Amino acid sequence: MNKEKLWTKNFIALTGANGFLFTGFHCLLPTLPVYAASLGATGSQIGIVTGIFGFAAIFVRLFTDTGVRSLGKKKCLYIGLLLSFIATVSYRLFSSIDILILARIIHGFGFGLSTTFAAAIVSDVIPDSRRGEGIGYFGLGSTIAMALAPALGVLLLDNYSSISLFAFSAAATCFAILCTKTSNAKEIIPQLPTKALNNSIKNKLFEHGTGVPAILTILFGVAYGSVNTFIIMMANEAGIADAGLFFILGTVFVFISRPFGGRLFDLKGAFWVVLPGAVCFLLSLFILINSISLQMLLGASVLYGLGGGLLLPALMTWTLNLVRSDRRSAASATFYNMLDIGTSAGIILLGSVAGSIGYISMYNYVIYTMIAFIVFFLLQHFFNPRSKSFAADKNES
């Protein structure tokens, strides 16, 4: 039996656009707080600059349904990319901290729209029978950006100037726009009557029928965000040098996990991908918390890469598979909202805990979070009859 074609022009263009979008974003993650401090920002102002982004992204996703019905997915994606570009340029044009915060909010709006609609559009062009595999490959661009862009951003800011940093970020966003322009994907715009839509905040944040993967995504966001944010501080506390290699090696194993994880999801369903991914991630945390050398830290990064590489695309695919094709934008928004809520809340809460007990001890709470993830997942699988269809595709319903 011949497989339906995955690597089409539209899929390649949208995957490239996603990679460039995340490159422009991730190169600013470790550098924007440093730039804000150079402008005279206080510690609380730097915290606002860092944290307001995620809340802006969550807020704008409340209006994805309205955007799709009024403009369509692709126009909404263009608006998001344009806002991201404007914000990136504004960072360097204005030296006021208040303007910097405003630009960060605009960037959050742009990023929230861009990530949501890029995922929604690409899910339309991926064949139904290969959605798990396709989403896995689609996410590789953001994975590469997560590994390489932060280091490149620091290099540009330290060795050149803030102008070169923001120019690089803006150029990456421009390439994302160009890649999007080369795609001509057809889209499905829902034509639901207004009275059929539930406009409560709950339903805007949380697409009906996606509850189980949404809760799991929040829990994983707490754990994933804490590793990405605090691993360097934890390594410094443990006296381990060259901890940046953790992300590079981890990314290699994300690459290894994505193709077979996606295929396994398509063949067997979410259970056979999510559970091994969660166990790998949990084991990585146990090794991490006991690391006394770079070798142990890198051993943890192998399992971190495998676990994260399996879980993120599986949770997204599962969420998309639980809705009709005309609700994929809302489902995509749900996934990213839950991930942002978990990541943002985890960073704030666990950062406060670390201030009292240290970063190594703080990771005990991350372990508890992943144990809760596994317990909840197993309870849903074995005792919730509806959860048996973990890979069910309701696109035709």
103 and 243 together in one domain: no
Residue 391 domain-assigned (yes or no): no
Q: What is the pLDDT of residue 195?
A: 45
31 and 124 together in one domain: yes
271 and 142 together in one domain: no
Q: What is the pLDDT of residue 165?
A: 92
Q: Which of 183, 216, 245 is the last residue of a domain?
A: 183
Q: How many CB atoms lie within 10 A of CB 187?
A: 19
Residue 229 domain-assigned (yes or no): yes
Question: 78, 118 in Cβ contact below 8 A?
Answer: no
Which tokens in the block code for residue 30? 């470790």
Spell out the residues 6+ positions from residue 378 whose beta carbon is closer than 8 angstroms to its own. 275
Q: Which of 155, 183, 211 is the last residue of a domain?
A: 183
179 and 208 together in one domain: no
Label residue 191 exposed, middle or buried (CB < 10 Å: 0-12, 13-18, 19+). exposed
Closest by CA position to 247, among listed 306, 288, 301: 301
Q: Which of 126, 148, 183 is the last residue of a domain?
A: 183
Question: 121, 73 in Cβ contact below 8 A?
Answer: yes
231 and 344 together in one domain: yes
174 and 285 together in one domain: no
CATH number at residue 142: 1.20.1250.20
pTM as predicted: 0.75
Residue 60 domain-assigned (yes or no): yes
Q: What is the pLDDT of residue 397?
A: 40
Distance CA 143, CA 136 (A): 10
Distance CA 274, CA 307 (A): 9
Q: What is the pLDDT of residue 387?
A: 54
Q: How many domains does the chain have?
A: 2
Residue 194 domain-assigned (yes or no): no
DSSP 212-261: HHHHHHHHHHHHHHHHHHHHHHHHHHHT---TTHHHHHHHHHHHHHHHHH
Q: What is the pLDDT of residue 391?
A: 45
139 and 249 together in one domain: no
**Gyration radius (Cα) of the chain, Å:** 20
Q: What is the pLDDT of residue 174?
A: 96
Distance CA 73, CA 394 (A): 20
Residue 189 domain-assigned (yes or no): no
Distance CA 341, CA 362 (A): 19
306 and 364 together in one domain: yes
178 and 295 together in one domain: no
Which tokens in the block code for residue 164? 């070169």
> Would you give the end-to-end CA distance of the chain in angstroms?
25
Q: What is the pLDDT of residue 295?
A: 95
Q: What is the pLDDT of residue 375?
A: 97
User: Range of 277's domain?
Assistant: 200-383
307 and 256 together in one domain: yes
Q: What is the pLDDT of residue 2?
A: 61
Question: 294, 240 in Cβ contact below 8 A?
Answer: yes
Distance CA 311, CA 301 (A): 15
Residues of the chain with pLDDT under 50: 1, 192-197, 388-397
